[in-house]
Structure 1
């Protein structure tokens, strides 16, 4: 055996078994999600895609704000925030529309409500959806000027007017400059606490506040 091979770290038997069990559980969860997408099963975050799911109270609050803003028959686009889809879809009427614009193809199980979306290709969205949505809710995956700027182009293309953006508080000045949104008192929270302070920005007022 070469010295290089000696330097490769080896997993203990117990660690290897624990890792196997982790991947097995994740695979079974994804299979359940695909076979029954409306079941109360949530996919694990993919941190390589910078995915961080909202906690239940935040999901409930954002959904309440959305329905208050556009009504159950309204048209809502979700950009890079898939954890909102199920709850919002359940709150909307049969006449309402919820479309998820998302890079992660696991969510293609939502059928026609899913549009594969890469923020780097800001206008790679259906042309017939120009100024189509009563409300666009977005959570850009990365806290960078490039990501927010390109996502803002998509937002402006899709929305009639109303916009809700959830992102880091450090992005406030850029959010205001690009989209003319105002910071609200609502602070989105995540299942796995993030080091960065998050804020919610809108161009419309709402009544609901998390207690």
Structure 2
């Protein structure tokens, strides 16, 4: 008979991490089951903002405005990429999912519940993106107001986009956005559920404001 002392044991830290992993897995599965039972789209599951990931969700008027622009701009059979703006996914998918494809490129793996339309995306490594067909419309919201983040996000947009680009970010990035992507500032301004101190702007390479008149 083997001595019980020979049985390996987990450290307290490892055990706690393992427990946290299983709890998170259960939460994901619960949300996934709810979405599956509700055809994934009838209810927009809202995760809490993770400020460590610099997450700030759009308010409803902003969501509806961007959905309208996408809907009226995209042709049937087109492809939309949502980069780092995960709460747009369900409203856009609900509006155009029967006539076009919508892909979510996001770092936060909670949004894997939207697989197979979820693509893991770390803005720091645009070169690690999988090979994808080009997208007709890209909507991007870089998570951080830094030169590195806007530069890396711009690289991803150039790799993935073939036509129209919408980018929402802090107004302080105006010069960088124009230099890197050639986008022009719109009159339309995005707003968030929680008011932010920074002024945000929307940029595009087409007449976005004309669609919202």
TM-score (normalizing by structure 2): 0.80
SS of equivalent residue, structure 1 residue 36: helix
Which consecutive unaligned segments of at least 5 residues does structure 1 have? Answer: 1-25
SS of the equivalent of 1:123 reads helix
Find the residue that maps to 1:156 and give its secondary structure.
Answer: helix
Which residue matches 1:51?
Answer: 55
Show CA shifts across 1:41-92 (max 9, x none).
2111111110000001100100100111113532100000001000000111
Match of 2:15 in 1: none
Does the aligned pair in 1 maintain the 2:28–2:113 contact within 8 Å? no
Kept in 1: contact 2:82–2:140 (CA 8 A): yes
User: d(CA) in 2 for partners of 1:40 and 1:173?
Assistant: 35
Q: Displacement of 1:36 after TM fit?
A: 2.3
Partner of 1:17: none
Q: Aligned partners of 1:33 and 1:180: how far apart in 2?
A: 40
Q: 1:161, 1:40 → 2: CA distance?
A: 28
1:69 matched to 2:68? The reply is no
Q: Is the 8 A contact 1:65 1:208 kept in 2?
A: yes
Q: 1:181 aligns with which of 180, 183, 188?
A: 183
Unaligned runs of 5+ in 2: 1-23
Paired position in structure 1 for 2:91? 87
Cα distance in structure 2, aligned partners of 1:32 and 1:56? 25
Structure 1 residues 73 and 93: alpha-carbon distance in aligned structure 2, compared to 1, 3 A threshold:
farther
Other-structure match for 1:209: 212
Say whether 1:98 aligns with 2:102: yes
Per the alignment, in what secondary structure is the counterpart of residue 194 of structure 2?
Answer: coil
Partner Cα distance (1:93, 1:82) in 2: 16
Structure 2: distance between partners of 1:30 and 1:43: 11
Q: Deviations over 1:150-201 (max 9, x none)?
A: 0000001101121000000000000000000000000000000110000000
* TM norm structure 1: 0.81
Deviation at residue 31 of structure 1 after TM alignment: 6.2
User: Equivalent residue of 1:161, what SS?
Assistant: strand
Tell me how many residue pairs correspond in the alignment: 183
